[in-house]
A and B are shown apart, each in its own frame.
Chain A
Amino acid sequence: MRQGFRQCMSWLHIWSGLLVGWILFAVFLTGTASYFRNEISAWMRPELQAAAPGAEPVRLAIETLQRTAPNSPSWIISPPDERGGELRVFWREPGARRFATAVLDPATGEPVRTRESLGGNFFYRFHFELHMAPLWGRWIVGFCAMMMLVAIISGIVTHRRIFADFFTFRPGKGAGRSWLDAHNALGVLALPYHLMITYTGLITLMVMYMPWGIQAAYQGDRQAFVNDVFGTAALVKRANQPAPLTPIAPLLDEATRRWGGPPGRIDVQQPGDASAVIRMTRRDAESISANPQTLTFDGLRGTLLSASGEAAAAAATRGVAYGLHLGRFASPLLRGLFFLSGLAGTAMVATGLVLWAAKHRHRHARNGRAGFGLRLVEALNLATIAGLPTAMFGFLWANRLLPLHLADRAEWEVRCFFLIWALAGLQAVLWPGLRSWAAQFGAAALLGLLLPVLNLLTTDRHLGASLPAGDWAMAGTDLVAAGLGLLLGYLAWRLVHRAPARQALRGARLARAEGA
């Protein structure tokens, strides 16, 4: 029972990583895709032309809301920005708890009739809710993130030669050597990112995970806490005196003058009433911190009521953490680097899972039959690591191939995603082994590589049109999908052509090494 600290940590690293590894892989991969949530959403609604930012879309949105939701106590307008986002509005029917939402045409203000699709929001929500009931999904993801934090810390302790093994990658070496090298390199080189993204991920949902301080200091009044943190005033009470809303354009100008850019969000409280208030929130792309800076205007006279100032230390820290996690930076290079680091994290989880299976497969090869645990891990590895990318590309394909006016079309896209994933799982259970790995990586590679072709056949915003037009949401999604397809194709090709010989060699070499 007496072992060294490092060995205990090694045990903890292996088991904490293995137990939640499959969910972590899914969380990492969908989260990485979510760095391009806007771009994926735009790709999935090809009818919607990229909107130009400016005051006009906001004015049109307000006109539409005045017509369609005059009695709503609250409107939220999310205008398009330079990244080609959509003009989206939210409103709440009196008495309703949830917000209704619609995407508007920025040129006319009318609700757009595009194909129904969840767009990039599907990956985004899956990333922290796993497409489950929010309460369940968020707690499960939170638990896994906590395990991830433990796995990272214990992994650092375990990996004694953390700097000596820094650059070592020996492809084609025996029995998990290469997997271990890759796992180490991916883990160590992107270590700041891994620590940051795990910890800040917990922080984004901490009010849910750790409400006890609010319980003690605010008697559980979360809204009061949120108002204190963000320096916002409580909701205004309706005066029940009809009054016209002030024109929005001068307020937008004021916000643009103060911030050097238009606001990222406009809230109108009690529109059409004498108590109306308009609040503008600064776009979070201009600095790391996503601590919202707001300007609050009188809704009738248009005078500035208050401007939220500098956040205090802890609130500022939270803002930085939140901003880092979401990575909505203006700089495309930095977003690219985050995407790369996210892929590194995904690959780190995958290599860790494969490493476990490779080690145990090797031991069982000597002892005889593979046990149930190993077969379970191998099936889950295949279904997750190869199955999820296939299903994610399949989701994009479903968006183009499903009939445009299918009832519940958005829901059907999601069903296609899960159907493909389930098929991958079935194959993993029925036909475990390298062939199935190659088949699934191959399928994912084809789906990715041919995505630009599919886009060419089904829309007029293919690469030939989108590249000259500088339509980066469209072209970027096509190109990144094709690039990832190429990478997956390389993996499949390696599995088909090199694996058998390598495996024999690997076994012999390891036997020698262990005999020595």
Chain B
Amino acid sequence: MSLAARIPAGWRRLRAWHWPGVLSRTIAAVLGGYALAALVATAFAAWLPASRAEAVLTGMMLSFLIYAGAVIWVFAARSAGRAWAGLLPPVLVLAALLWLTGGLA
């Protein structure tokens, strides 16, 4: 089955995906994804055993892949609730660890 054959189904699915769910996922993807990406970038900067500039650069460059991955995850999850449930723990754990180790200067 090709993309073309699925587009009408896609439209029907949008109706079935009630808008609160889509809105919730969108927020999770855009804001949650950015938060995760920013935290990963910070974590690399703080913890990667390389020179300061190298650690910062590595984190920065990888963060966009993390962001893209997070968005894919959010929209692939079975429900908006599951999307949040998958996204929030790494965000909270990273934030807590960074805060505890003083990485969030």
Contacts and interface: CB of A to CB of B under 8 A. Distances in A.
Nearest to B51: A312
A317 B21 CA distance: 39
Question: Most chain-A CB neighbours within 10 Å: which of B1, B4, B13?
Answer: B4
Nearest to A147: B71
Question: Most chain-A CB neighbours within 10 Å: which of B2, B79, B103?
Answer: B2
B61 interface: yes
A177 interface: yes
A216 B103 contact: yes
Given A312-B51, A314-B61, A210 B41 contact: yes
A150 B71 contact: yes
A7 B64 CA distance: 24
A258 interface: no
Interface in A394-415: none
B78 A206 contact: no
Contacts of A199: 64-65
Question: Most chain-A CB neighbours within 10 Å: which of B4, B53, B79, B104?
Answer: B53
A129 B4 CA distance: 34
B84 interface: no
Interface of B is mostly: helix
Nearest to B37: A210
Contacts of B103: 216
Contact of A363 (B8, B16, B75, B104): B8
Given A1-B16, A8-B75, A150-B71, A217 B6 contact: no
B97 to A, nearest CB: 13
Interface stretch (A158-166, A249-257, A327-335, A474-482): A158-166
A363 to B, nearest CB: 7
A265 to B, nearest CB: 22
B50 interface: yes
A16 B60 CA distance: 23
B10 A10 contact: yes
A359 B8 contact: yes
A219 B42 CA distance: 12
Contacts of B10: 7, 10-11, 14
A359 B7 contact: yes
A117 to B, nearest CB: 35
A89 interface: no
Given A158-B3, A216-B105, A363-B8, A9 B59 contact: no
A213 B56 contact: yes
A462 to B, nearest CB: 46
Contacts of A203: 60-61, 64
A289 to B, nearest CB: 14
Given A12-B75, A216-B42, A312-B54, A210 B63 contact: yes
Contact of A180 (B3, B67, B71): B3
A314 B76 contact: no
Contacts of A209: 64
A1 B16 CA distance: 7
Contact of B46 (A149, A216, A314, A315): A216
A324 to B, nearest CB: 13
Interface string B77-90: 01100000000000
Contacts of B11: 360, 363
A29 interface: no
On chain A, which size bracket covers the interface?
Answer: 35 or more
Question: Most chain-A CB neighbours within 10 Å: which of B21, B41, B60, B78?
Answer: B60
Contacts of A146: 64, 67-68, 71
B38 interface: yes
A314 B50 CA distance: 10
A313 interface: yes
A49 interface: no
B69 to A, nearest CB: 8
A122 B2 CA distance: 40
B23 interface: no
A322 B68 CA distance: 20
Interface string B1-34: 1111011111101101100010000000000000
B75 A228 contact: no
B39 to A, nearest CB: 8
A308 to B, nearest CB: 13
A487 to B, nearest CB: 25
A214 B53 CA distance: 9
Nearest to A158: B3
A3 B11 CA distance: 13
B60 A213 contact: yes
B3 A215 contact: no
A9 B75 contact: yes
Contacts of B42: 212-213, 215-216
Nearest to B39: A212
B72 interface: yes
Contacts of A314: 50, 53-55, 57-58, 61
Given A3-B13, A12-B75, A165-B2, A210 B46 contact: no
B29 to A, nearest CB: 8
Interface of A: 1-3, 5, 7-12, 14, 16, 146, 149-150, 153-154, 158-161, 165, 176-177, 180, 184, 199, 202-203, 206-207, 209-210, 212-219, 225, 228-229, 312-315, 317-318, 321, 359-360, 363
The 10 closest A-B pairs by CB, nearest first: A213-B45, A228-B53, A314-B57, A213-B56, A217-B45, A12-B75, A314-B54, A212-B38, A213-B59, A213-B41
